[in-house]
Amino acid sequence: MRIFCFPYAGGGASAFRVWPAHLPAEIEVCAVELPGHESRWVEPPITNISELVHILADILPAHSDVPLAFFGHSMGALIAFELARELRRRQQISLEHLFVSGFRAPQLIDPAPLMHQMSESLFLQELRERYGTPDEIARDPELAELYLPVMRADFALCESYSYSQEDPFDFPISGFGGIEDPKINREQLQAWRAQTSGSFHFRVFPGGHFYLNSTSRPLLLRVLGQQLSQAGRRAARVAAPQGTAYSTKITD
């Protein structure tokens, strides 16, 4: 199996750097590095999800020699979902499993105000209160200068998203979240069930919005590994190469 991992707003491939050591050896972890993030910080970030998804869909077929799964947290969940839809439209790739984490089901309306249009002070306040973003960013002007434009661009990508009705997937979806997440509740996560005619798995873990970076990480990866192994057995195809994580870069 090969699992492509899509990061949260402001995050990058480093969020998944320790995953290979905690997943079965037959699972290859491919962490996606988006323009404007981490090692690609000199590139302008993409603020339109359709543009991003089309770029990703152009390069994914080259990596589909083994069964594929997607994992996305927060913004990454939305990207993974729409990318899976685009690949289905092109009749190129069908996933074995979609893992969505820390993001409401896409058919639900987010009643919160648009953060990407807020002033810097209000934007920082909302980041702290809704997502637990560290105060160090506000206190360090250089860090804020680098980090906040990327965050604002990522929020623009999510907040400009418009859901369109399509048939549900026929492969399994798992919805994960943090028990103490002030932004995403159980009902919003469970609503992902409507996006598949196959099986749906729901699990919450101790922690807040970024539970996957907390002490819950080992449990998350144990559950993820079990479900990926099951998906690999179902696929009945050639197993993924033994490997370590690498970052997949979007090309122009």
* Cβ atoms within 10 Å of 103's Cβ, excluding its own: 29
DSSP state string for 82-139: HHHHHHHHTT----SEEEEESS--TTS---S--GGGS-HHHHHHHHHHHH---THHHH
Rounded to whole angstroms, what are the CA distances from 77 to 104, 140, 144, 186? 9, 29, 25, 15
**pLDDT tens-digit series, residues 98-107:** 999 999 999 9
Joined together, the tokens standing for residue 76 give 């990454």
Identify the pLDDT of residue 240. Answer: 41
**pLDDT tens-digit series, residues 172-204:** 999 999 999 988 999 999 999 999 999 999 999
Identify the pLDDT of residue 131. Answer: 66
Question: At a CB cut-off of 8 Å and minimum separation 6, what does 66 contact?
Answer: 1, 2, 28, 237, 238, 239, 240, 241
Q: Is the pLDDT confidence value at 145 over 80?
A: no
Rounded Cα distance between 159 and 179, Å, is: 24
Going by the DSSP 8-state scheme, the letter that residue 250 receives in this structure is P
Q: Is the pLDDT confidence value at 113 over 60?
A: yes
How many structural domains is the chain composed of? 1
Q: Is the pLDDT confidence value at 245 over 90?
A: no
38, 12 Cβ separation under 8 angstroms: yes
Apex 93 CA angle, 87 and 95, nearest 5: 100
Q: Is the pLDDT confidence value at 92 over 50?
A: yes
Is residue 74 flagged as an active site residue? yes
Weakest-pLDDT range from 33-37, 71-75, 135-139, 223-227? 135-139
Query: Looking at 14, 50, 74, 199, which residue is catalytic?
Result: 74
Domain of residue 135: give its range. 2-249
Q: How confident is the model at residue 128 (pLDDT cuts 50, 70, 90)?
A: confident
Identify the pLDDT of residue 141. Answer: 66
Kindly state the percentage of the chain with pLDDT values over 70: 86
Give the CATH number, domain containing residue 69: 3.40.50.1820
